[in-house]
Structure 1
Amino acid sequence: MSDKNPPNNEKLPWFEHYAMPGFSDLSTIHELPYDHSILLENLMDPAHVPISHDRTDWTAKREDAQPLNFTVLERTSRGFSGHWWRSKTPGLVNTLRFQAPCVLSNTLELVDKEGKKQYFSALFLCRPSGQGKSMLLVRFGATMRSPIAQLLPNWYLHQNGCKVFEQDMGFLSSQNEVLMREKSPTKNLYLNLRSCDTWVVEYRKWMDRVGHGMPYYFGHSTVRLPEEPAVVEQAPAGMVAGASASAPAKGGVGTVHAGNPANRYFRHVVHCKGCREVVSGFEAWKKGLLVAGAVAATVAVLANARQWKAVFLVVAAVMLGGASACSGVVALITTNFVRTHRRL
């Protein structure tokens, strides 16, 4: 698709509630160091969210971890769909739909205290970008939004989204390595619980049915390995996945200037125009404030009167503090989250 070759709108998926008045959404893009099938099954696993992402997205709380209930409504070669709900809140029913080959949606519809219907939606487009690599386009939307969330800039929400994926990244990259090394279907490797993993099982069984048309796949009962491995046997799932899965940092090493395809700068910022502009802007402000601080400090040294020395020293301190704050924002946007027990 491009300006010269516009898309065929009839073939584009349509999600009606996104066109509703007052519906707000946030879109982000991520490149991740593991296979897109592992990304998909992670996204369709709601049970891990309260534990793995405790208070990261303000709704996930470890104490809310509980058994889930699932109902599968449809199974076809084009995907599957169904409902799921938490055992403690049976009235809040989510609808999950997987549309082949890589579109996943989850929608929660409820009626608020005023009798109005409210929608909360998550859309995921997961595509392969190579063996052991995947690209994710994600959009979260709702008709009702927290006043605090409305005040937060998009770059802050983007970095928080990056943090969510980084909390799972090491484990999922290692899982990718295990699948490639064991060369076995998932029923021999996974402990699938009925109260947690129904969608994961459905997805891998779907792979059993349609995997014959794929270059490689790991199904619930069958498997087909890639004819040409990504790299040498030291990283069977791919070099990027291998780097991310390596202990102890699990992809958390490297900076903007020290290339590591598993760190946040290369996974998100280079693909996100908004975050690139924010990083560039704060870098420019940091340089300007450093220069202003140096000038103020120089004037303070040269000034004769004590009061002017004090004034310019305060100005210099404020300028340097502002530069430090700008540097902190840049680091927040570009630096991986690494769990405490894995920090070097």
Structure 2
Amino acid sequence: MGKFTFVAVIVMMALAARLHAAEDFESVWQAYLSEHEVRKSIFNETHARTKKHNSKKGVTFQMGHIAFSVLTSEEKKRHLGALKPVRPNSVVRGVARQALPCSIDYRTDSCLPPVESIVLRDQGGCGSSWAHSATAVVEFGKCKKCDGTALDLRLIVDCSREEGCSGGWEQEAWQYLASNGGQTDDSSYPYTTETRTCVFIPSDMSIGAEISSSDPVEWVAWQDPTAMMTVLAGGRIISIFMQLPESFFSYEKYLLDAFFLSRSYAHAMNVVGYGTLDQNDYWVVRYSWSEGWEAAGYVLVRRSVDLCMIE
């Protein structure tokens, strides 16, 4: 091949590379624009729904824009992860009734750190709400029982069941922990937003809370939420299941009361108190999204009507 022929080939290759790069840029750019158009469309629907809701008279809660405003239904579901509760087959023990205070609120309790301060506890795109809810119960119970120091325990996403990021049950988590001596500190076994192979080795890890047994308790019917209130009055918090309405992902403040809307999202959370607002009874509910939420990690949910299966 002659010198000029060789140079021509090099020039042609360079031009081809530039054209290919230009095509790559253009295709990536178009994909970028397309993705943003999709997000804009979702945001527009959310905005219209939010504006319509807030303009109604007599609504009990306010909606606004948060991190979920541009997510698809499937993307929202990846931030959930609860499976519908199954009534236990074994004999259950009842909850002893007692005189109850008018309200209880553990949101400022030293055993329940602010949700936004627990950055590593944001469940992210892993359907592990069941593990967050189960762990919160253990952490709070151990803290109350001992010296009042808040705990940071390992979330047992990848040990008590396979594909833990695809959902689970809190009682499975507690049963696993009871069978293995307890729950480790998070520093011994950090949480990730992906399901991994379980490497829980109690003898090699620091156990933050020893657990000897896990027994089913009373199955509470919505006609009698007193048992739940009694548990709270006894210095414990509760793991609950909810079938969330679409409006939950735009909740901003006040009292959530949306049982009349569709409920297509299953989520596990914790009830950490109860009270009354403008003659409306409510539960104080704590969730596991530490960022992008306007209500500092909590939502008030109407009490005694089994809203979204909370009771």
TM-score (normalizing by structure 2): 0.24
Name the one with the larger helix percent: 1
**Bigger relative CO (Cα 8 Å, ≥ 6 apart):** 2
TM-score (normalizing by structure 1): 0.22
